[in-house]
Amino acid sequence: MSTNVMVDIETLGKNNDAVILSIGAVKFDPWGHKIDDSFYVAVDPESCQSLGLKLDASTVMWWMSDERSAARSLMVKEERVGLAEALYGFNDWFGPESLPVWGNGATFDNVILTSAYKMCNIDRPWKYWDDKCYRTVKGMAPTIKLVREGTFHNALDDAISQAKHLQKLYFALRVPKGEK
């Protein structure tokens, strides 16, 4: 079994210094058909701002749209932790070995998380060579559609949907076993 991690974050910005609202992740075998383990934490946005992370008005307004009311209503009920506590929790769940980490976009999830780790002076649990872009692979087989599970824009639900989609993409693209 080859364990990979699909990560999804919800933020209040689009840049690498964005305030993080939540982190969702799953461990999975990209050549398999199931999810092995999951992680979710809601982050206190004020703890992000106190470290210098930023929010942008356009993203705040994007969250206010009726299309995101389901995710927003779940989010406001969540118990939140400080960013450093969230990252330490993620590291504990992740484990000591570097694993391939998939984010949705070469400049989004993994990059923003990396910035948060730097701002908190905490070591990121994966090596730079294990950064992977799910969006790139998704673009290689646009006819294989993503099937959303759960609440759209809930970080864990999105990570699960994306990991299952990547498994279908690996099969459709006939990615050889052992390729990362």
Instruction: Identify whether the C-beta of residue 12 lies closer than 8 Å to the C-beta of residue 59.
Output: yes
DSSP string spanning 120-151? HT---SS-GGGEEEHHHHHHH-TTS-----SS
Global confidence as pTM? 0.95
Task: List beta partners, residue 101.
Answer: 5, 131
Q: Taking CA 132 as the corner, what is the angle to CA 128 and CA 133, rounded to the nearest 5 degrees?
A: 135
CA-nearest of 138, 124, 127 to 170 is 138
3-state secondary structure at position 16: coil
The four Cα atoms 10, 104, 15, 77 give a dihedral, to 10 degrees, of 0
Q: What is the pLDDT of residues 15-65, one digit of tens each?
A: 999 999 999 999 999 999 899 999 999 999 999 999 999 999 999 999 999
- In angstroms, rounded to a whole number, what is the distance separating the alpha carbons of residues 25 and 160? 8
The pLDDT value recorded for residue 180 is 55
DSSP string spanning 49-116? HHTT-B--HHHHHHHTSGGGHHHHHHHTTS-EE-HHHHHHHHHHHH-SS---EEESSTTSHHHHHHHH
Q: Which two tokens stand for residue 30?
A: 């990209």
Q: What is the pLDDT of residues 60-103, one digit of tens each?
A: 999 999 999 999 999 989 999 999 999 999 999 999 999 999 99
Give all domains of the chain, ordered by start, each with its CATH number.
4-173 (3.30.420.10)
Mean pLDDT taken over the chain: 95
Residue with tokens 């995101």: 68
